[in-house]
Chains A and B, each alone.
Chain A
Amino acid sequence: DIVMSQSPESLAVSLGERATINCKSSQSVLYSSNNKNYLGWYQQKPGQPPKVLIYWASTRESGVPDRFSGSGSGTDFTLTISSLQAEDVAVYYCQQYYNTPYTFGQGTKLEIK
């Protein structure tokens, strides 16, 4: 199975500041035939199921604010929140969908400083 590793495990950022979460996969999730990275980012708030924010490593899901962006390719990826809002407090997960069953990073808990 592809192992996904996230850093940091937790992060405290001031309102309006930038938050950056990193994700590394144990093997490339870039599919050469279509040049797409099979990598998604999810947000989970307490008591709720996860919600997809980003897919194909950098495509925002419809309705997701543009302060959320994804970057990276191959094995190294980043989720950036450009200006943290109070409603962004949550746990964030990266996930590969290159192979089934899908695997997730261990999560990054984002809090307000």
Chain B
Amino acid sequence: EVQLVESGGGLVQPGGSLRLSCAASGFMFSDYAMHWVRQAPGKGLEGVSAINKDGDSTAYAKSVQGRFTISRDNSKNTLYLQMGSLRVEDMAVYYCARGKQWLDSWGQGTLVTVSS
């Protein structure tokens, strides 16, 4: 069974940093591109970042470009999102999702709260 478990969310002050992790199991992690998608409270879905299966190609939404860094460790079956210069508008549930094309498996999400 495919499992994606996010961790690392929490309360952080504006301007602060946080690193999210997503532990994958039940499939060959190194065969899949991976994604981070976020959802602000009561709002819709926003694709934040994506990384190819080898980790050598990444993409970012304009809203996070230059502040967030996606990475992966295929030896640990883990996806990461390093978030810096956090803003109030970054507050959201962050989901990791598996997707060679469409996103066919999602984690339950981790909540990031940005507040002073």
Contacts and interface: CB of A to CB of B under 8 A. Distances in A.
B101 A103 contact: no
A102 B109 contact: no
Interface stretch (B8-16, B55-63, B72-80, B83-91): B55-63
Contacts of B108: 49
A51 B37 CA distance: 13
Given A101-B49, A104-B46, A104-B47, A38 B101 contact: yes
Q: Chain B interface secondary structure, helix, strand, loop or mixed?
A: strand
Contacts, number: 66
Interface string B74-116: 0000000000000000000001010101111011110000000
Nearest to A48: B108
Contact of B45 (A1, A97, A104): A104
Band of interface residues on B:
20 to 34
B22 interface: no
Interface residues of A, number: 23
Interface of B: 35, 37, 44-50, 59-62, 95, 97, 99, 101-104, 106-109
The 10 closest A-B pairs by CB, nearest first: A100-B59, A49-B106, A101-B47, A55-B102, A40-B102, A102-B47, A100-B50, A104-B45, A107-B44, A101-B59
